[in-house]
Amino acid sequence: MVTVTMTVNGRQVSKEVEDRRLLVDFLREDLGLTGTHVGCDTSQCGACVVHLDGKAVKSCTVLAAQADGGSVKTIEGLANGADLHPLQAAFKEHHGLQCGFCTPGMIMSGVDLIERHPDGLDEKTVRVELEGNICRCTGYHNIVKAILAAAEEMRGGMRQAAE
């Protein structure tokens, strides 16, 4: 057993866990943050993507102990209270989800993608970078539209903040 301490969605948490405890299980079972989904147990679907120290990671491939001392953001920590994050709003507006199972991982990957490309995105880049996320319902078209729309909105907000 090992004690892990980390900041999750802005709140410091500390728990004793088994050395082999996966971050996804720690978040879901120990902290009750069930928005992070377990889809494949092989790190191929992307349903479990969270941000660890500001970078998108598949939480089924990270031990909770590896996140010790770090900062984790899950889908539950993305919105600002009742105000959806721009990408969450764009998924709603552009019908970027159907069953919703992949949506948390897609959104967390999308936010990371937008943040890594502050000068803008194109459809090809979005499609290439989403290859690690699987959606069995939508065919990706509306997911890509949502990410591009949110990227443009977020860039506009960044430009205004800089002025």
**Is 131 a residue whose pLDDT tops 70?**
yes
Calculate what percentage of the chain has a pLDDT beyond 70.
96
What band does 161 get if pLDDT is binned at 50, 70 and 90?
A: low
Average pLDDT score over residue span 130-146: 91
Residue 153, CB half-sphere, CA atoms under 13 Å: how many?
15
Fold exhibited by the domain 2-77: Ubiquitin-like (UB roll) (3.10.20)
Domains in the chain: boundaries: 2-77, 86-162
Residue spans of beta strands (DSSP E) within the chain: 2-8, 11-17, 49-52, 55-58, 71-73
- Class of domain 86-162 (CATH, top level): mainly alpha
DSSP code, position 68: T
CA gap 71, 62 in Å, rounded? 13
Sheet holding 71-73, edge to edge: 11-17, 2-8, 71-73, 49-52, 55-58
Q: What is the pLDDT of residues 82-106, one digit of tens each?
A: 999 999 999 999 999 889 999 999 9
**Is 158 a residue whose pLDDT tops 90?**
no
